[in-house]
Chain A
Amino acid sequence: MTFAFPKVLVASAVIALGIGTQAMATECIAPANPGGGWDFTCRQVGKILYDLKLVDQPVQVTNMAGGGGGLAFNYVVNERNTDPDLIVAASSATTTRLAQKAYGDARADQVRFVGAIGADPGVIVVAADSPYQTLTDLVEAIKADPGSVAFAGGSAAGGFDHMKPLQILKAAGFTDITKVKYIGVDGGADAITQTVGGFTQAMTGDMSEVVGFLKSGDIRVLAVLSEERVPGFEDIPTAREQGYDVVAVNWRGFYVPGGITDEQFNTWADRLRAVADSDEWKKAMADNGLAPFTKVGPDFQNWVNDVIAQTEELSREIGVIQ
């Protein structure tokens, strides 16, 4: 009976690895432990790639956690630079960290950003009993007294959640952004708890993080930071409509090794577009609170370059980088 454990483990390992153990199979690296956003991206997209016959063998998912994605990034640059059968899950966190030199000496141009196929739109949220009814109320209060509003978010100071209110305030002409109070807690739900509890006055996060609290009536969403209103949440205005030209979405996508040919790069871009257009992916997005956001190929690379430049500038202003 005591031997049941190893047997079960071996058996399950075989089941788990049974998909795609052959050497030439396409590989997707999720630079985090199983269960997170990057892992989800790899597993869902990997499955759809095979279902749509865009790759001839099941995609093998490798989890490589460490350094907030930095370990995987350095590994790809140093060991797999010309591998055409490799994609790596990425998101806004990847570009934010690259912009802030959080991956050691790594630079964004060492890999090629090949496509985003969905996004979790940013939101600015207050407690249901908050005096702030619109984004303008909140912005004006900060302009009058920057100390009167503290934001809570799920990322570290200087992270993506921190950047969202700063971008809005800059768009509103408020330049003294180092005065804005921000605390980085463990995840979006924790940030909401602090805000509903009255310890902070506003929460900055992703749409998917706030849906449950929105339904229960604990919070009010002042603005969603997407280009258009989000399907299913048509009553939430965008920041743009309220006069603040800010789009901040947590995109889900991939980069590929920097040393592959343009032809190989474009092949991946086409495959990702096909995934983005598939019904299976549309269902996966709806289930996980993602909004449509498709940018692939050179288009996406240019957009990423702009985002990184912008993040770098903001990070320098708030002192996260020199």
Chain B
Amino acid sequence: MDILSNLALGFSVALSPWTLFLAVIGCFLGTIIGALPGLGPSNGVAILIPITFSLGLDATAALVLLTSVYYGAMYGGRISSILLNIPGDEPAMMTTLDGYPMARAGRAGEALVISGVASFVGAFLATVALALVAPYLARIAYRFGPAEYFALYALAFATLGGMTSNNQAKAALASFIGLALALIGLDNNSGFTRFTGGNLHLADGIDFLVAIVGLFAVSEVFFFIESHGRESALGVRLGKLVIPWGEIWSTRWTMLRSSVVGFIAGVLPGAGASLGSFMTYMMEKGIAGEKGGFGTGVAKGVAAPEAGNNAAAGGALVPMLTLGVPGSGTTAVLLAVLMTLNITPGPTLFADRPEVVWGLIAALLIANFVLLLMNVPMVRIFVRVLTVPPAILLPGVTMISFVGIYSLSGSYFDLLLMVGFGVMGYVFRKMDIPTVPVILGILLGYQMENNLRHAMTLSGGDWTYLFSSPIAIGLWVAAILGFVAPMFLRRFLRRPSVAEADRIVD
């Protein structure tokens, strides 16, 4: 079989002691980078680029190291989401919603194990899919024009209202604030800068990592100061680490569904891992219904986003390798690395450089098993980093946040902005306004606006263009259903749901 011989070639490249060693190092560093708030996969990979060059690694070795870091960071992001309620990186944002309640209920160990297994399932299936269908799947990108992308983002926002069950208006307010913040910076369609007040630091827009660290980590510092540490969210203890086989088995369909949806979200350029974890969480929440107890700390609530975002990480490699179009911030950095290594991703890469592509796929498979070992039986090592007393941990988290953000741009302005977001996060949490939609608005707003305006440019201002293809219509129907259905379902499901949810939490 063609694929088996290709895979054999890949393993022959990747299975040397040296590359295995790099994979282990990369996985370890990646997991830590992912777990530390403020340092996500994209800056983790960016930080390591100079190292790969100064070590003089060849193309395969450099790729193995950097993709191990990439996958590792995707795994690691969940650790601080669960233990600290601070997402380690942006795709892990959704994992806070159920992971942290689980940890508070003394089930941190289970949450970590379930999410670790879900990460493995998602990443493993995505890597297999990458190997099997990448060259064909790349064709999907040709089917998505501005109208289709706009409908896709509309779908994400339409389902947002259902995320916080208590107050949809506040969720809507938060997402509009996020969308408004996304307008800051250079307007790609006119070439003018908007809402920057002439400040060059704002000309590139607001980096969502600045927003995420500010809203989650820095606001946590303010809560800590206010309560003198007594009521702080930090300091969750990891109980006895038992592997909850039954619970893992009960999430099997959730993991499989989420892997598929996450992978597809990853394949679409511009959607990426964050959208993957968001959509899978919303989908699973919808399937489980009110009685599923999503948001109160259920196993499916951590399994879905983790399978989703790790599958998306694999999916994002598809357009990067086959078209040279990065599907996420991290793949954009990886793309730059490939170009510097004199490998030009594109439609001919699989044919021109099979040893690189299949070596990479083999390395990803190896990295996945290494990561499963590190993140399930050995998860205590990473947890220990985060379970020191809050009085020590918090200044540490703050420092790492500042260093992490500063390493992005080398600009003090981003630090001020981050503190500003911290204040905003503090006020929002006091007012019970969810902060996740703000991040989502900043994350997707730029692309959403651009695609709408591209659609209008191409059609000469004709709105029906947005509904002109079967894919677009399908996405619009899903968006409308996602927005309207919860309103009706809630009425029917309300009464039994509360009782069920309580029982599960207890």
Chain B hits for A147, CB < 8 A: 460
Q: Are B51 and A16 in contact (CB under 8 A)?
A: yes
Across the two chains, which residue of chain B brings its CB closest to A15? Answer: B54
In the complex, A68→B458 CA distance in Å?
Answer: 27
In the complex, A184→B447 CA distance in Å?
Answer: 11
* Segment touching A, from B233-241, B341-349, B494-502: B341-349
Q: Are A187 and B342 in contact (CB under 8 A)?
A: no
Chain B hits for A16, CB < 8 A: 50-51, 54
In the complex, A102→B200 CA distance in Å?
Answer: 9
Kindly identify which residue among B339, B410, B458 contacts A150, using a CB–CB cutoff of 8 Å. Answer: B458
Check if B250 is an interface residue, CB within 8 A of chain A: no
Check if B131 is an interface residue, CB within 8 A of chain A: no
- Cβ < 8 Å to B, chain A residues 6-28: 8-9, 12, 15-16, 18
In the complex, A200→B202 CA distance in Å?
Answer: 31
Within the complex, the shortest CB–CB distance from B380 to chain A, in Å, comes to: 10
Chain B hits for A200, CB < 8 A: 458
* Contact-size category for A: 35 or more
Q: Are A5 and B29 in contact (CB under 8 A)?
A: yes
Check if A174 is an interface residue, CB within 8 A of chain B: no
* Contact-size category for B: 35 or more
Check if A131 is an interface residue, CB within 8 A of chain B: no
- Cβ < 8 Å to B, chain A residues 283-309: 287-289
Kindly identify which residue among B144, B186, B200, B342 contacts A288, using a CB–CB cutoff of 8 Å. Answer: B342
In the complex, A103→B203 CA distance in Å?
Answer: 9
In the complex, A102→B185 CA distance in Å?
Answer: 12
Chain B hits for A18, CB < 8 A: 54
Q: Are A2 and B381 in contact (CB under 8 A)?
A: yes
In the complex, A62→B413 CA distance in Å?
Answer: 18
Q: Are A150 and B457 in contact (CB under 8 A)?
A: yes
Q: Are B46 and A197 in contact (CB under 8 A)?
A: no
Q: Are A181 and B458 in contact (CB under 8 A)?
A: yes
* Segment touching A, from B119-127, B166-174, B188-196, B432-440: B188-196
- Cβ < 8 Å to A, chain B residues 141-155: 141-146
Within the complex, the shortest CB–CB distance from A90 to chain B, in Å, comes to: 17
Q: Are B457 and A71 in contact (CB under 8 A)?
A: no
A35-B336, A181-B457, A183-B457 are contacts. A287–B342 as well, Cβ < 8 Å? yes
Q: Are B200 and A184 in contact (CB under 8 A)?
A: no
In the complex, A74→B203 CA distance in Å?
Answer: 14
Q: Are B458 and A66 in contact (CB under 8 A)?
A: no
A147-B460, A212-B324 are contacts. A320–B191 as well, Cβ < 8 Å? yes
Q: Are B347 and A68 in contact (CB under 8 A)?
A: no
Across the two chains, which residue of chain B brings its CB closest to A9? Answer: B47
Query: Contact mask B300-330 → A, CB, 8 Å, 1/0?
Result: 0000000000000000000000011110000
Across the two chains, which residue of chain A brings its CB closest to B198? Answer: A104
Chain B hits for A104, CB < 8 A: 198, 200
- Max chain B CB contacts within 10 Å: which of A9, A66, A103? A66
Chain A hits for B59, CB < 8 A: none
Within the complex, the shortest CB–CB distance from B283 to chain A, in Å, comes to: 27
A residues near B, CB below 8 A?
A: 1-2, 4-5, 8-9, 12, 15-16, 18, 33-36, 40, 63-68, 70-71, 74, 100, 102-104, 147, 150, 156-159, 181-187, 189-190, 192-194, 196-200, 208-209, 211-213, 215-216, 218, 287-289, 315, 320
**19 A–B contacts, CB within 8 A, in A order:** A15-B55, A33-B46, A35-B336, A65-B410, A68-B186, A68-B204, A150-B458, A156-B186, A158-B191, A159-B191, A183-B454, A189-B346, A193-B325, A199-B458, A212-B347, A213-B347, A215-B352, A315-B191, A320-B192
**9 extra interchain contacts, Cβ-Cβ under 8 A, other than A70-B203, A211-B346, A212-B347?**
A74-B200, A150-B458, A156-B189, A184-B188, A189-B345, A190-B325, A196-B142, A211-B344, A215-B347
